[in-house]
Amino acid sequence: MQAVIQVGSKQYKVAKDTVFFAELTGVEPGKDFNTTQVLSVNNGGQVKIGQPFVSGASVTAKVIEEVKGPKIVGVFYRSKKHNHRRWGHRQKYHKLQVTAIKA
């Protein structure tokens, strides 16, 4: 069984035991994260598509840990003005493992 879910502003195609990285969910590591924002479910060739979400469907995932993504470096520069600035950013993510899909 596969499902397409929405976590934050992004969509993920998941199946049981799939491990993926998503935006912070507000759940502590070690706890379960349950979402009803299921966009579609594929159960052995039988496909249900929601408008926008499938009614009665849910996906449960376990929050394994909180990790940081790659460093993004930006540079601001104006020529002949002696004006420049360098900045960096690392986004935080949750590492999730899907434990159950209900259709």
Residue tagged 């159960």 (tokens): 43
Average pLDDT, the chain: 95
Considering the entire predicted model, what is its pTM? 0.83
Q: Say how far apart CA 61 and CA 100 lie, in whole Å.
A: 7
For the sheet containing 38-43, what is the strand order?
10-15, 2-7, 38-43, 46-49
Is the predicted pLDDT of residue 42 greater than 90, yes or no?
yes
State the pLDDT at residue 103: 85
Domain borders along the chain are 2-102
Q: E strands of 32-71, at which residues? A: 32-35, 38-43, 46-49, 58-68
Tell me the two tokens of residue 6: 């929405």
